[in-house]
Amino acid sequence: MTFDIEEWYHLLELKSTSRPDQWVGFEPRLEANTERILTLLNESGVKATFFVMGWIARHSPSVIRRIAEAGHELGVHSWDHSLISKQSRMEFREDLKRSCGEVSGLSGKPVRMYRAPGFSIVSDTIWALEELMRQGIIADASIFPTSRAHGGFPSFPVDQPCIIEAGGMQLYEFPLNTAKFFNHRVVFSGGGYFRLLPYEIIRRLTNRSSYVMSYFHPRDFDPGQKMLPGLTPLRMFKSYYGLHGSLGKLARLISEFDFVDIGKAIDQNDWSKAYVHRI
């Protein structure tokens, strides 16, 4: 069970929200939206991994402390939601170092988990996995092993937990899981996919899966958020469809299936049988 901690206006490559200097003009909704999630998790006894933007940690530290105090695991989700494909290797290295420093400074613990904005670790940016290892990250959840806007890594060989090796180092990789749906490989376990699909389909696909990596955002459960300017009709549909029923859908999901954070998943998995991907 994972959540990407970002504000409701942090949509990728939208001109009206693409720069941090633009964000001060938008209503902050993260605290209330995150509290809604924490309440549900507490009532259900579920622990999750929260991937936090460094910018969020800097400007909303109370939200991050609240997540940590509730006993959840903190990871990093970049500094300002920039796609890795838009960065050089050096820029990514500095972004990662800065983000980890900000989050660990609030929690008092080293950051061990990472997820890239837009799942933007792809075939052309796979070098980022080695940079994660050099920073001390032990687990990544950035691989989207099918086609996707902003990311997608359809040539990645598995959609199950695996081990990445590079330069004598190892990283636990938790890619998104996929399922066949009308002859297409789809990801059903988070974000717009979760809001779009009827619950019974999600339930059926979850039952058929040996591994599920969920991913959600606080905005996925916020029907009161405003409509952002400049969205295409398709992007508007993806971003706003199903908001009214999403929290109830999540409550039902975690009542029917057992979810853990990534740290617990590492302990529970038999890594001697895992696929090893060398880069």
CA dihedral 244, 32, 3, 134 (to 10 degrees): 160
Nearest to 26 by CA among 231, 229, 216: 229
Token output for 74 = 């903190």
Interstrand relation of 162-166 and 276-278 (parallel, antiparallel or unpaired): parallel
* Residue-averaged pLDDT of the chain: 94
Mean pLDDT of 163-170: 96
- Answer yes or no: are the C-beta atoms of 24 and 55 closer than 8 Å: no
Tell me, rounded to whole angstroms, the distance of Cα 181 from its chain centroid: 22
- Answer yes or no: are the C-beta atoms of 75 and 48 closer than 8 Å: no
Query: Residues 87-135: pLDDT tens digits?
Result: 999 999 999 999 999 999 999 999 999 999 999 999 999 999 999 999 9
Q: d(Cα 239, Cα 7) in Å, to the nearest integer?
A: 13
Q: Which residue type occupies 234?
A: L
What pLDDT does residue 1 have? 98
63 CB-side CA count, 13 A: 26
Contacts of 75 (CB under 8 A, 6+ apart): 49, 50, 51, 52, 103, 111, 112, 113, 114, 115, 139, 141, 262
Percent of the chain with pLDDT over 70: 100
Mean pLDDT of 158-163: 97
Query: Residues 230-247: pLDDT tens digits?
Result: 888 988 888 999 999 999
Nearest to 225 by CA among 31, 8, 30: 8
Name the phi and psi angles at 172, rounded to 5: -80, 125
Q: d(Cα 221, Cα 190) in Å, to the nearest integer?
A: 12
Contacts of 200 (CB under 8 A, 6+ apart): none
Q: d(Cα 151, Cα 120) in Å, to the nearest integer?
A: 4
- Residue 88, SS3 per DSSP: coil
Residue scoring higher pLDDT (14 or 117): 117
What pLDDT does residue 25 have? 84
